[in-house]
Every structure is written in structure tokens, then in C-alpha cells.
Amino acid sequence: MKVAIYCRLSEEDRNKRSDNDDSESIQNQKSMLVKYAVERDWEIYNIYSDDDYTGADRNRPDFNKLLSGAQAHKFDIILCKSQSRFTRELELVEKYIHDLFPIWGIRFISVVDNADTAVKGNKKSRQINGLVNEWYLEDLSENIKSVFKAKKEGGIHIGSFALYGYMKNPEQKGHLIIDDEAAEVVREVFNLFAQGYGKSAIARMLNDRGIPNPTEYKRRKGLRYCQAKSKNSTLWKYFAISDMLINEMYIGNMVQGRYKSVSYKSKINKPCPKDEWVVVKDTHEPIIDQELWNRVQELIKLKSKPFFNTGKIGLFAKKVKCMYCGYTMLSSKNHDRHYLKCGTKHVSKDSCIGAFVPQLELEEVVLAELRRLIQEYLNKSALAKKLEFNTKTQSNIDKSQNKLQAYKKHFDDCSKAIRDLYLDKSREIITEDDFVSFSKEFYDEKSRLERLIKQEKEEIGLLEERLRASNDKSVLLEKYLDVSKLTREHVDVLISSIFVARRDPETRELPVEIYWNF
């Protein structure tokens, strides 16, 4: 019998250990499990080990290697110190220990809590262990949240990264101190805005002088930072300046809790409403004095006028992008005419040649293209093609459904055959070796059928989506058949995005690419 040994140590385990207790160490786990295997004359196939990973982490490197080896039946037994070393999630206990491992012919053993899939009546105790470990994870998550909440309310900084202009105090955990070099840039930004400079103009001034933006600054200094996914990540942008000017952290107030996790099982975070943020005043030295802060906030209020003074969001707001750099184009007004222009051009000399388009002209282009598409689609020929397409698509869906049912029936037959063989083995009609030999063909066939079932389901989903899209398209376009003037509602419903370039100096043509929602 070949055995795979699995060990895990989390940071939490390290914190719980005393100086004279190494019972949770990786080395101790390995020694105990190797001895257990040798005493039973089992051949050790491999020792898998994950250090500093929690029992709820599904991305443990060696854990996933262990599962791949188990599926390929490279060994017969998985041996752990306890079931919680393998996983603390009840879902994974059911999925692997109680479902897939028996199918793969893998025996699971955990020494301390006596879990053994080869022992009859042992399943309930394994499920109880899984349930207890699941409760442990949930309680641990709530305890951690409570600790973090208390720290936030106490004004202790718990973030992974210090805000630009500050650094973490090496002598006092959770306290921020001023980073003099970056703080000078922050003061300059506030002073320039107070003197009347716009946000794009300030960004351009910083870029012209080669001052790196916050992310690039931290990277150069070897500090921890959050990598931006956008282009031109070394440049200052309008929104970086805008966010800086309203951040209370710069007047000495600790602002935290802007995001919260969806679940203790997920690393996904979602933004919190502003009234749920945790704000504690005077926790660290301010970079900006209160007088300058108040002056800047008043100026921001004065400059925050509704789009085109209509009180409504702009017609193409956040929909139009520069074809050269991909950034969202900004609105502007000159002599009562409205324009859209690339903001990147205005923050750096060499970053982008910049797109520019009058809003009225863009509106005419979009309306003309919309009318062309509607007429093209709704003529008799197009409707006939649509009917033919729908009939053919439905026929393909029916064929795939029939295939899917046949695959499922064959899969169930294979499962029944394996269960019958297992009963024969339990009654000692056939040996363990005979069971493995006879059932291998059924297992291989089930794996093949699983792939075919998955493929057919995906194909059916794709065909049904095409059918829905075809029907929805007719209804949508008929609704907008007589549109004579675009509204914001039309733009939101019909348009995904618009890319605009500069006008051709010779032909005077304006390159426009429209991506529709249908």
C-alpha cells in the first residue's frame, strides 16, 4: 500500500505554541506520520507540506498536488495528523473524504481524531469533526472581525499599505508617521488646488517634473503597495489628485472600514456606505493643516457643479473612451458647445496624442448607426433569417438535450455497476484487488462521461443564450425604431462603450467604434 502524507501549519498555530511545545510543528507532524506508516509496512509515496496556510485556504500548493495525485491514484492512502490538517471546511470533507476519495479508491486516515474511511461507522465522527471545524472557522472569523473592529475604533491602523505621504511606524505597530518626501508632494497638491489650479493641471505639472505617482513611488522605495492594473501606471491621473484632496487621513483622522468581505470563505470585498466607515480623529500627525483643508473643501464644492448645469448626468458620461490610450474621455464646454476630450493628454506630454469630439457630432454618428442597424435587422430578409436561425438553433438544443440524457443514463449505469461490485467486495464474493481491477473500467468510463456531460451542458447553455439574444434583439430594436434624439436612457440601454480617435486631417473623417449591448 502506498501512502501520501499531508502536513499543514498555519500562522495561527505558530502563535498558539509555547516555547516548549512543538506539537504543531511541521517536522513533528512528519515524524509522527512517517512512524505510523512504517509500523504498518506502508510504502511512503510522498510527503506533502503546506506552511503558513489556513485550513480554509483552497489554494494551498501541496494540498492541490495531493488531490491531483489522489485523482490519478498514484497512492492508496492519505495520512494526516488530524482531519483539520486536511481541511476545516465541511464542504470539502463531504466532497473529497466522503465522495471522491471512495470513487478514486483512496483511503483517508487522520491519526489523532481516529478518522478512517475504511472503518464502518466512522463516517458520522468524520462529519462531526468537519462540522466542529466549520464552526471553528466561522467563530474565528467573527473573533478576528471583532478584534479588527476594536482596533479601528481605537484609531489603530490595520491596513496592509500606508497611505501615500505616510509610512508605518517601525517602533509602534498600528501607528502612522509622515514620509517627508511624499508629504511634500501632498502639500504641494493641496496648495496648488487652493491657488486655483485644476486637478488635471496639477497632474500634468507633477508628470512634467518626473514625480512618480504613489504606486510607482512606493515601488521605487521598496515599500508595500497595491499594483494598479491600468496603463501608464507611473503617471499621476485626475482621479489620484481628486481622491487625495478629499481624504481626511491627511488632516490626522484615521479612516478605515471602507470595504468589507462578502464571507469568511471568500477573499472578495465590497465597498461600504460612507456612514459605515470608521473615522477616528487626531490619531496621527497631519500633513495638511485645518485651514488649508477647509479652503480646499470649499473650492471642491464650488467646482462640483452638475453636468452642463442641467442637474443631470451627461449624455455620454463614462461611455466614451480614447482609441489611443483607452481612458475615459472628459467633458468640456466652450462657447456653449460641449466636447469630449482625452484626459490623459492633459496630464502628460508624451502619454497620448489625445482624442477629441464635439458631443453633437458624436450624437449624430450614434443615431445614424443605430437607425442603420435597426433598418438592416428589421427588414423582411433579416426577419426571415432570424426565423431560420431560431428554428435551427432550437433543433440543435433538442439534439444536445437528447445526448445529455443518454450520457446521464450511461453514467448512472456505471455508478450502479460500481456499487454492485462494492457490495460483492463487502460480502467477500470478490477480493479487494478484483474490485479495483473490475471497477477501473467503470471509473474511466464515468470520467469520460463527466467530460461529455459538461460539454453538452455548456453547448446547451450557449445555444439557449444565442436564442434569447436573438429574440431580445428584435424586441429591443423595435422599441427604439423611431428614436429621433438620444437620451441618457438610450445610451445606458443600447451602448456598452464608444471609442473615438482624432479626426483625419485630410479626409476630415472622425474614426468612431461603437460597441452595442445587443
Q: Are strands 77-80 and 320-322 parallel, antiparallel or unpaired?
A: unpaired
Range with the largest mean pLDDT of 101-115, 326-340, 479-493: 101-115
Between CA 328 and CA 321 the distance in angstroms is 4
Q: Are residues 299 and 313 in the same domain?
A: no
What per-residue confidence (pLDDT) applies to 483?
73
Final residue belonging to a domain, choices 284, 303, 322:
303
Cα dist from 415 to 42, 102, 409, 433, whole Å = 30, 12, 10, 19
With respect to residue 91, please indicate whether it lies within any of the assigned structural domains. yes
| Mean pLDDT in residue range 159-167 | 89
SS (H, E, C) 297-363: HHHHHHHCCCHHHCCCCCCCCCCEEECCCCCEEEEEEECCEEEEEECHHHCCCCCCCCCEEEHHHHH
What per-residue confidence (pLDDT) applies to 2?
92
Question: What is the pTM (predicted TM-score) of this model?
Answer: 0.42
With respect to residue 481, please indicate whether it lies within any of the assigned structural domains. no
Which cell numbers hold the place of 515? 460597441
With 90 as the cut, is the pLDDT of residue 244 above it? yes
Cα dist from 336 to 62, 362, 455, whole Å = 65, 16, 57
Final residue belonging to a domain, choices 125, 150, 175:
150
Residue with cell 501615500: 164
Q: Are residues 142 and 289 in the same domain?
A: no
With respect to residue 160, please indicate whether it lies within any of the assigned structural domains. no
Q: Are residues 421 and 468 in the same domain?
A: yes
Q: Are residues 206 and 238 in the same domain?
A: yes
With respect to residue 279, please indicate whether it lies within any of the assigned structural domains. yes
Q: How many domains does the chain have?
A: 4
pLDDT digits (tens, 9 = 90+) for 265-302: 555 667 778 888 889 999 999 999 999 999 899 888 76
With 90 as the cut, is the pLDDT of residue 140 above it? no
Average pLDDT over the chain reads: 79
Residues recorded for the chain: 518
Q: Give 173's contacts (C-beta < 8 A, 6+ positions apart).
A: 156
Domain housing 342: 308-376+494-516
Cross-strand bridge partners of residue 41: none
SS (H, E, C) 211-261: CCCHHHHHHHHCCCCCCCCCCCCCCCCHHHHHHHHCCHHHHCCEEECCEEE
Q: Are residues 59 and 116 in the same domain?
A: yes
Q: Are residues 118 and 189 in the same domain?
A: no
Range with the largest mean pLDDT of 7-11, 19-23, 134-138, 140-144: 7-11
Q: Are residues 428 and 288 in the same domain?
A: no
| Mean pLDDT in residue range 251-263 | 80
Among 29-43, 234-248, 302-316, 371-385, which stretch is predicted with the lowest mean pLDDT? 302-316
The percent of residues above 70 in pLDDT, for the chain, comes to 77
Q: Are residues 192 and 296 in the same domain?
A: yes
With respect to residue 381, please indicate whether it lies within any of the assigned structural domains. no
Which of 190, 299, 181, 192 is closest to 247 using CA atoms? 190
Q: Are residues 298 and 313 in the same domain?
A: no
Final residue belonging to a domain, choices 250, 272, 303:
303
Select the more confidently predicted residue: 354 or 124: 354
Q: Are residues 328 and 457 in the same domain?
A: no
Q: Using pLDDT thresholds of 50, 70 and 90, give the confidence band for residue 176.
A: very high
The percent of residues above 90 in pLDDT, for the chain, comes to 18
Q: Are residues 326 and 408 in the same domain?
A: no
With 60 as the cut, is the pLDDT of residue 310 above it? no
With 50 as the cut, is the pLDDT of residue 507 above it? yes
With 50 as the cut, is the pLDDT of residue 252 above it? yes
What's the CATH code of the domain at 256?
3.90.1750
Between CA 491 and CA 486 the distance in angstroms is 7
Between CA 79 and CA 37 the distance in angstroms is 8
Among 44-53, 272-281, 485-494, 495-504, which stretch is predicted with the lowest mean pLDDT? 485-494
Q: Using pLDDT thresholds of 50, 70 and 90, give the confidence band for residue 82.
A: confident
With 70 as the cut, is the pLDDT of residue 93 above it? yes
Between CA 51 and CA 213 the distance in angstroms is 36
Q: Using pLDDT thresholds of 50, 70 and 90, give the confidence band for residue 20.
A: very low
With 50 as the cut, is the pLDDT of residue 308 above it? no
Select the more confidently predicted residue: 478 or 421: 421
What per-residue confidence (pLDDT) applies to 373?
77
With respect to residue 483, please indicate whether it lies within any of the assigned structural domains. no
With 90 as the cut, is the pLDDT of residue 456 above it? no
pLDDT digits (tens, 9 = 90+) for 423-439: 777 777 877 777 777 77
Q: Are strands 43-51 and 77-80 parallel, antiparallel or unpaired?
A: unpaired
Q: Are residues 171 and 55 in the same domain?
A: no
